[in-house]
Amino acid sequence: MTATAEGPAAAKEVGAPRKRSEDARLVTGRTRWTDNITPAGTLHVAFLRSPHAHARITRVDTSPAREHPGVVTVLSGSDIADEQGALPCAWVVTEDMKHPDHPPMAVAEVRYVGEPVACVVARDRYAAIDALEEIDVDYEPLPAVTDMEDALAEGADLVHTGLGTNKSYTWVFENGDLDAALRDAPVVLERRYVQQRLIPSAMEPRAVLCVPEGEEFTLYSSTQIPHILRLMLATVTGIPEHRLRVVAPDVGGGFGSKLQVYGEEVIALLLARRLGRPVKWTESRSEGNMTVHHGRDQIQRLTLAAERDGRIRGLKVDLLADMGAYLMLVTPGIPLLGAFMFNGIYKMDAYSFTCSGVFTTKTPTDAYRGAGRPEATYAIERLMDELAAELDLDPIEVRRRNWIGHEEFPYETVAGLTYDSGDYESATEKALGLFDYDALRAEQAARRERRDPVQLGIGVSTFTEMCGIAPSRVLGSLSYGAGGWEHAAVRVLPSGKVEVVTGTSPHGQGHETAWAQITADRLGVPFEDVKVLHGDTAVSPKGMDTYGSRSLAVGGIALSSACDKVVDKARRVAAHLLEAAETDLDFDGGRFSVRGVPEEGRTIQEIASAAFTAHDLPDGLEPSLDSDATFDPENFSFPHGTHLCAAEVDTETGMVRIHRYVAVDDVGKVVNPLIVEGQVHGGLAQGIAQALYEEAVYDAEGNLTTTTMADYLVPSAADLPHFITGRTETPATSNPLGVKGVGEAGTIASTPAVVNAIVDALRPYGVHDVAMPCTPERVWRALRSGSGTGGSGAPPGGTAPGAGGGLGSEGGTR
Partner 1 sequence: MPRIRVDVDGATYEDDVEPRVLLVHYLRDRLGKVGTPVGCDTSNCGACTVLMDGVSVKSCSVLAVQADGRDVTTVEGLGLNGTEHPMQRAFHEEHALQCGYCTPGMIMASIDLLRENADPSEEEIRDGLEGNLCRCTGYQNIVRAVRRAAGEMREPSEREVAP
Q: Give the alpha-carbon dihedral of 726, 728, 729, 734, to 10 degrees.
A: -100
Residue type, position 363, single letter: T
Rounded Cα gap, residues 642 and 393, in angstroms: 18
CB of 383 to partner 1, least distance (A): 27
Query: Which member of 1, 2, 9, 19 binds partner 1 (CB under 8 A)?
Result: 19
Taking the complex as a whole, the smallest distance from the CB of residue 221 to partner 1 amounts, in Å, to: 15
- Report CA dihedral (306, 310, 312, 317) to the nearest 10 degrees: 70
> How far apart, in whole angstroms, are the C-alpha atoms of residue 550 and residue 225?
13
Q: Distance of CA 30 to CAs 23, 38, 220, 250, 278, Å?
A: 10, 15, 17, 10, 22
- Starting from the edge strand earliest in sequence, which strands make up the sheet with 109-110, in order? 109-110, 55-61, 136-141
| Residue 541 CB partners (closer than 8 Å, separation 6+) | none
Choose the binding region for partner 1 from 16-24, 335-343, 475-483, 519-527 (rule: CB under 8 A): 16-24
- Indicate whether 163 belongs to the interface with partner 1 (CB under 8 A): no
Taken in order 585, 586, 588, 593, is the CA torsion positive or negative?
Answer: negative
Residues whose CB is less than 8 angstroms from the CB of residue 766 and which lie 6 or more positions away in sequence, other chains included: 786, 787, 788
Torsion of CA 154, 159, 164, 166, to 10 degrees: -60
CB-wise, 333 or 459, nearer to partner 1?
459
Shortest gap between Cβ of 717 and partner 1 (angstroms)? 4
Pairing between β-strand 244-247 and β-strand 216-221 as defined by DSSP bridges: parallel
Q: Stretches 352-360, 423-431, 566-574, 718-726: which one binds partner 1 (CB under 8 A)?
A: 718-726
Nearer to partner 1, 124 or 174 (CB): 124
203 binds partner 1 (CB under 8 A): yes
Subset of 686-715 contacting partner 1 (CB under 8 A): 686, 708-710, 714
The CB-of-129 to partner 1 minimum distance in angstroms stands at 11
26 binds partner 1 (CB under 8 A): yes
Angle at 322 between CA 106 and CA 77, to 5 degrees: 5
Nearest approach in angstroms of CB 656 to partner 1 is: 17
The answer to the question of residue 684 lying near partner 1 (CB under 8 A) is: yes
Least CB distance to partner 1 at residue 126 (A): 7
- 204: contact with partner 1 by CB under 8 A: yes
**Rounded distance between C-alpha atoms, residue 64 and residue 67, angstroms:** 5
Does 27 participate in binding partner 1 (rule CB under 8 A)?
yes
E-strand stretches of 452-521: 454-464, 486-492, 498-502
With the C-alpha atoms ordered 380, 381, 386, 387, is the resulting torsion angle positive or negative?
Answer: positive
Positive or negative CA dihedral for 83, 284, 331, 320? negative
Which of the residues 210 through 269 are near partner 1 (CB under 8 A)? Answer: 250-253, 255
**Closest separation in Å from C-beta 725 to partner 1:** 9
In the complex with partner 1, the residue whose CB is nearer, 26 or 581, is 26
Site string for partner 1, 401-430 (x = CB under 8 A): ------------------------------
For position 510 contacting partner 1 by CB under 8 A, the verdict is yes
Q: Tell me how far the alpha carbon of residue 1 is from its chain's centroid.
A: 29
**Binding of residue 124 to partner 1 (CB under 8 A):** yes
The interface region with partner 1, picked from 28-36, 95-103, 426-434, 592-600 by CB under 8 A, is 28-36
Sole window of 198-206, 435-443, 486-494, 763-771 interacting with partner 1 (rule: CB under 8 A) = 198-206
721-750 residues near partner 1, rule: CB under 8 A: 722-723
DSSP string, 375-387: HHHHHHHHHHHHH
User: Applying CB under 8 A, does 716 fall inside the site for partner 1?
Assistant: yes
Residues lying near partner 1 in the complex (CB under 8 A): 19-20, 22-24, 26-31, 33, 35-36, 124-126, 201-205, 250-253, 255, 282, 284-286, 507-510, 674-675, 677-679, 681-686, 708-710, 714, 716-718, 720, 722-723
